[in-house]
């Protein structure tokens, strides 16, 4: 019986063999250029997403700075109200 991991290894070997066939046919440069373009495009997408995440982190930080004092005041008011209820 062949395990899933074995199947993956077999699949990888087949891919490498096919790549070897391409290189013998004189087309590896074309395939390589395609893959490099694909990688470059994906890297640009990753960089774009990193920038987007950074912008969201800045926005969250600004909102936390804005809302933290308000939330602290609400918490204090709740504590005061709670103490007042205990006295009555």
Judged against a pLDDT cut of 80, whether residue 46 lies above it is answered with yes
Total domains, the chain: 1
Per-residue pLDDT tens over the stretch 67-79: 888 878 887 777 7
Report which of residues 32 and 16 the model is more confident about: 32
Highest mean pLDDT among 14-18, 52-56, 66-70, 78-82: 52-56
Distance of CA 73 to the CA centre of its chain: 36
**Domain span at 56:** 4-87
What is the residue whose two structure tokens read 């440069």? 29
pTM of the model: 0.47
- Token pair for 84: 């007042």
């Amino acid at each position: 019986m062949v395990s899933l991991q074995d199947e993956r290894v077999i699949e990888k070997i087949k891919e490498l063999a096919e790549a070897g066939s391409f290189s013998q046919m004189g087309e590896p440069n074309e395939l390589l250029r395609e893959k490099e373009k694909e990688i470059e495009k994906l890297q640009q997408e990753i960089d774009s997403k990193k920038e987007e995440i950074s912008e969201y982190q800045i926005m969250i930080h600004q909102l936390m700075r804005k809302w933290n004092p308000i939330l602290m005041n609400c918490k204090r008011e709740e504590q005061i109200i709670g103490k007042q209820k205990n006295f009555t």
